[in-house]
Amino acid sequence: MKKNFSSTNPLILGIDTSCDETSASVVRGVKVLSNVMPSQIEFHSKYGGVVPSLAKLAHTERIDNVVKEALKRARVTMEQIDAVAVTYGPGLAIALEVGLKKAKELAEKFNKPLIAINHMEGHLLSSFVEPNGKKNILVKDLMHDYKIKFKKGSAIGVLVSGGHTEIILVKDFFNYQKIGETEDDACGECLDKCARMLGLGYPGGPVISKLAKENKKNIQYTILNKNQSRIVTLKNINTGRTYQLPVPMAFSPNLNFSYSGLKTAFSSLVSSLSVTKDEIFDLCSIIEIAAFEEVRLKVFKAFEKYSPFELWLGGGVVANAHLKSVLRKVSGRIKVKVPYSNKLTGDNASMIALAGALRFNSFVNSHNPKVGIFTKEYEKIDREPNLSL
Ligand code: KG4
Ligand code: ZN
């Protein structure tokens, strides 16, 4: 491949069908030209969660039009695209297949390189996505700036979504080490299940977030250590009612998470109450506080151990204002990079396209095979060890 303008700021079509969003996006480097993502929530909400076979059906019905629309809104043709980036995993296998098939078909038909992207790398890099097009940062310059930063140290990525809760040590772009992960449920999954216990529908995370925010003025809370447990005690200052929940993994020596015990403790708390309307608000407040205290403790520990130069946040739960505020306090004077909007914290194809742009640039300029560009060897993509995260 010859170096040209595209290699310093490539035009990438990104596709993500990992869960319940059929998403396609075109980026020019870090700048979003289009991000099309019709939601499937209406199909899944009546079942209280994502139904894989329904997700596959909806992806199959929509993928052609979503890609067409993404190209149309970006005012580009497939011929102009430099490469196609697609999520190969993790996610629902039968949903991922739909995006992979479409991406392979386009790459083959238009003779474009295909870039396989790990969905979690997309979330990790999502705070670099520029949706409003005001800043004109070239991928080449961005990577050059960070080359200097990475020479001095590492960044820490915190990914909190419906399927994952992870802390990543970022030693360089494409050089990641997972230093913490959940041993059972993910944080978002726990919030969704707790919301379901309260009859708040699916996905429950945003509803818990909304009700907890509205309830902020009515509550006071403490988080204290008692006999090798860390306990959140919340009091509603109007009703005088108090509630308690334990913070899991508070004394574990590693950076891992656990959320299934918190879900069980929440279930016991709910069944011990008659659960009036006010109590639903208080329960939303306490589950949010307990769940994010665990994230705070682990990120604090990671900061102590690795002294990062930056904190990168990603994943659907990062839309939560309380979580962002807790992590901003941990990071102090260290810069926190947060996705530009809630459209970019949750699943979207712009983050996949951006990861593709960085890998494409790196490949063209260094021919580093580790970045994972595949032209004809499409079948290799889901087995490539260098791409796992
Ligand atoms: O990243 P994402 O869109 O999908 C996965 O890759 O899992 O994350 C979805 C998760 C769901 O659990 C959802 O309830 C949660 O993110 N979520 C939130 C908020 N918005 C979405 N959780 C708490 N507060 C929010 N504002
Ligand atoms: Zn995701």
pLDDT of residue 33: 96
User: How much is the pLDDT for 386?
Assistant: 40
Residue with tokens 């006999």: 227
Distance CA 345, CA 42 (A): 20
How many percent of the chain have pLDDT more than 70?
A: 89
What are 133's two structure tokens?
Answer: 């097009």
User: What confidence score (pLDDT) does residue 376 get?
Assistant: 44
Task: Give pLDDT tens digits for 261-319.
Answer: 999 999 999 999 887 777 999 999 999 999 999 999 999 999 999 999 999 999 999 99
316 Cα–ligand 1 center, Å: 3
Ligand 2 centroid to 186 CA: how many Å?
A: 11
Lowest pLDDT segment from 70-79, 105-114, 360-369 = 360-369
**Share of residues in the chain with pLDDT > 90 (%):** 72
Task: Give the mutation target among 45, 159, 161, 190 for probing the ligand 1 site: most ligand atoms within 8 A of CB.
Answer: 161
Which ligand gives the minimal distance to the CA of 120? 2
Tens of pLDDT along 142-188? 999 999 999 999 999 999 999 999 999 999 998 899 999 999 999 99
Verdict on whether the full-model pTM lies above 0.85: yes
Ligand nearest to the CA of 319: 1
212, pLDDT greater than 70: yes
pLDDT at 203: 86
Atom of ligand 1 nearest to the CA of 164: 7
Q: Ligand 1 pocket: which residues have CB below 6 Å?
A: 19, 161-163, 188-189, 191-192, 203-206, 209, 315-317, 319-320, 346-347
Pocket mutation for ligand 1, best pick of 317, 320, 342, 344 (most atoms within 8 Å of C-beta): 317
Rounded to the nearest angstrom, the distance between the alpha carbon of 385 and the centre of ligand 1 is 28
pLDDT at 210 over 50: yes
The predicted structure's pLDDT at residue 55: 79
Q: Tell me what pLDDT residue 43 has.
A: 67
Q: Give the integer Cα–Cα distance in Å for 211 and 97.
A: 37
Ligand located closest to 164 CA: 1
Residues 6+ apart with CB under 8 A from 290: 232, 245, 246, 247, 262
Compute, in angstroms, the gap from residue 367 CA to the centroid of ligand 1: 36
Q: How far is the CA of 187 from the centre of ligand 1 (A)?
A: 9
CA–centroid distance, 206 to ligand 1, in Å, is 7
Q: Is 360 exposed, middle or buried (0-12, 13-18, 19+ CB in 10 A)?
A: buried
Q: Which atom of ligand 1 is nearest to the CA of 204?
A: 14
